Chains A and B, each alone.
Chain A
Amino acid sequence: MTFDKKDLISIKDLSASDINYFIETAKEFKKISLKDIKKVPTLRGRTVVNIFYEPSTRTRSSFEIAQKRLSADSLSISVSQSSVVKGESLKDTILNLEAMNPDAFVIRHSESGAANFISKWTKASVINAGDGINEHPTQCLLDIMTVMEEKKEIKSLKVAIIGDICHSRVARSDIYGFSKLGADIYLYAPHSLLPRLIELKNVKIAKNMEEAVKNADIIIMLRIQKERASFYFIPSIEEYRKFFQLTPELLSKASAGVMVLHPGPVNRDVEIAGSIINADKTRIFKQVENGIAVRMACLYILLRFQKKNKNK
């Protein structure tokens, strides 16, 4: 198996077999994290630049650890400590960093399309670590990996995605990723938070919470931000909690082997009952663990492609 693209910007660019290739590779890399000495020389001498234009705990530390375990030289730029605060444009920032000959950029940005934009200004690989409301492809891959560790295949699984789908880059990536692997996807949210148009055939809008979770094999819960009420998407967090929260009672209607995923950060007792997390009925920490393996795999696959291309 190979992958013949320089960048990982969108799940839409991957085929089903590409996704499987990333997951299989990640499974191998996961073994490294379970050893005493969690380091291999795979990316020795390669330079990776992490640029985070948005705050992030999980994704950023996950990428940094992945880079360290692969022996890459990496640096992370937080926007608050960079020339961006002096008014430097995204393009100029990238052109300056590009002059330092990095091998890969990992970028998180509040604007959709940012990763796509910088990929046009650099020869280095670009990994999208979340762009606006658009996509978060490595989150999707780690979600799929977490599911594949327990389920034989994704095909025909009922996947419920519930919450602020309209503003969620995780949802957009997951919808395309799980759909490519043949899952039946049910979306549910207040209709004001549903995407307007979905072009995929195996994606349905559920009528209510119960229809969404009933016999579901996978439930992906999404965070709701308080600010949504001030832009009229919902009346209040209190009402959201009352009608759109995943409760133990609703969860009991799901299939016996249901897996509950959440990309974090969790608002306990808003979108998901705290008791579900406390009772260890979610795979939230498994997701975080697999995140490192997936990011190691992404860096490895993209940089290997670059190396091959240079040798041509």
Chain B
Amino acid sequence: MDKILIKNGIVVDPLTKTEVKRDIYIEGGIIKDIPRKQKNNCEDNIIDAEGSIIFPGLIDMHVHLREPGFEYKETIKSGMEAAIAGGFTSICCMPNTDPVNDSKPVTAFLLDKAKRLNLINLFPIGAISKGLKGNSLADIGELKESGAVGLSDDGNPVEDAALMGRALLYARTFDLPIISHSEDLKLRGKGVINEGIVSERLGVVGIPAIAEEIGVARDIMLAGYYGAKIHIAHVSTRGSVDIIRRAKRNGINVTCETCPHYFSLTEKSLLDYNTDAKINPPLRTGKDVEAIIEALNDGTIDAIASDHAPHSKDEKDTTLDAAPFGIIGLQTSLPLTLRLFYDKRISLMRIAELMSFNPANILNLSKRGSLKSGYIADITIADIRKEWKFTGSSIKSLSKNSPFIGEKFKGIASAVMVQGKIL
């Protein structure tokens, strides 16, 4: 399987800004120019992609695999299987495992495990602070050296602004991006869903939008002041989008991501106390959803990431107050994004940017995110016309905490190729 030809697909490439029907030739795991004289010896490895869309391999830059420590929720293997079903060739795993990925041994464990599984690419995100405790810097140079591609205390914000500022500076020394879970913890308090009409109607404590927005503003100000790069994770409110749009206009080196649920659902999903819709940041209002979609379109938001956060049935089968935050998302990320395409809100090219090209750039993943000759042959083939239903039994994750079970979709990844190998 050294030489492969993918024929007749519509190739969407953000680097060359082309969306045309053409063939892609792969040799030794790398995309190459199609040889002039097509020798017949590669013809036995032809993939007919007639009617399919060919994306550069999708990259989910925000995933919680629960290994090591919480293998009952998800393992590296089960997470990767869900990612493959969802069309991803690369995933980035957050460090809030047990032990926390704040050092070389944990990063090395993750990479070694991924190598032995030999499925898709795993890019670990290391911790900003030791043990995610927010008291001291993790060994950031060592994390980079052992293979971490970014840093985040995701799940919790770095509360101490001095620590965050110095983390931005120190990480810049090693050219590692900081991915910020921006939030004011005291404003979140004991909140469980968005603070608004629904939290009032349900009689539960709300999380105000400003808890996120104040955190986003603070972290952007720190990055701006120190001339450092920052990536804001899971943006969910109109206010955050406005702050980021303004910061970008002012030349601050900020990028951000949102998650499919923030442009697909509102707080109304929680009206029946549905714990499978309890996440942090929480589902917001229709106005926020509209602002997120606008920002996806105008370039304010750079990436779509799932924030895939598996929790067991036992953990979620409880009250809204007691249930943990988080939903799975690897298998619904592309289908939910394709809904925006069918609603004529974003183009296929924009999807390729948001789900592959931009994440690769933000995390400095070289030779990924494009289908140009010379790039690594990480490729997602999607049948965007296929109609299907997301059922509990089709979930590859060990956890089933999704608010989308039972929903009908149009479009799905039909195959993924990692470094020239079809999975």
Contacts and interface: CB of A to CB of B under 8 A. Distances in A.
Interface string A177-208: 00000000000001110100000000000000
Nearest to A238: B139
Contact of A235 (B136, B162, B169): B136
A232 B173 contact: no
B173 A235 contact: no
A84 B163 CA distance: 35
Interface in B384-399: none
6 contacts: A190-B173, A191-B170, A229-B137, A231-B162, A233-B170, A235-B138
Closest 7 CB pairs of A and B: A235-B137, A191-B169, A192-B169, A232-B166, A192-B166, A243-B141, A192-B170
B172 interface: yes
B142 interface: yes
B106 interface: no
Interface of A: 190-192, 194, 229-236, 238-239, 242-243
A233 B173 CA distance: 12
B228 to A, nearest CB: 8
Interface of B: 130, 136-142, 160, 162-163, 166-167, 169-170, 172-173, 228
Contacts of A233: 166, 170
A222 to B, nearest CB: 16
B139 A239 contact: yes
Contacts of A234: 137, 170
A229 B228 CA distance: 20
Nearest to A230: B136
B136 A239 contact: no
Nearest to B228: A191
Given A191-B169, A233-B166, 12 more contacts: A190-B173, A191-B173, A232-B136, A232-B163, A234-B137, A235-B137, A235-B139, A235-B141, A238-B139, A239-B140, A239-B142, A243-B141
Contacts, number: 45
A235 B167 CA distance: 9
Nearest to B140: A235
A31 to B, nearest CB: 46
Contacts of B228: 191
A282 B139 CA distance: 30
A232 B167 contact: yes
B56 to A, nearest CB: 30
B142 to A, nearest CB: 6
Contacts of A232: 136-137, 160, 162-163, 166-167
Contacts of B130: 235
A233 B168 CA distance: 11
Nearest to B225: A196
B139 to A, nearest CB: 5
A232 B169 CA distance: 11
Query: Most chain-B Cβ atoms within 10 A of its Cβ — which of A191, A233, A235, A239?
Result: A235
Contact of A191 (B136, B137, B139, B172): B172
Contacts of A238: 139
A143 B194 CA distance: 62
A192 B136 CA distance: 13
Given A232-B162, A239-B142, A190 B136 contact: no
A190 B142 CA distance: 13
A239 B19 CA distance: 47
A194 B170 CA distance: 10
A151 B167 CA distance: 40
Nearest to B170: A192
A158 B36 CA distance: 53
Contacts of A242: 141-142
B107 to A, nearest CB: 14
A238 B130 CA distance: 14
Nearest to B144: A243
B140 to A, nearest CB: 6
A229 B140 CA distance: 13
Nearest to A194: B169
A190 B170 CA distance: 6
A162 to B, nearest CB: 13
A252 B381 CA distance: 51
B162 to A, nearest CB: 6
Contacts of A190: 169-170, 173
A237 to B, nearest CB: 11
A236 B228 CA distance: 21
Contacts of A236: 139
A161 B252 CA distance: 29
A195 to B, nearest CB: 12
A182 to B, nearest CB: 28
B173 A239 contact: no
Contacts of B169: 190-192, 194
A224 B103 CA distance: 22
Contacts of A230: 136
Nearest to A229: B136
Contacts of B167: 232
Contacts of A243: 141
A160 B347 CA distance: 51
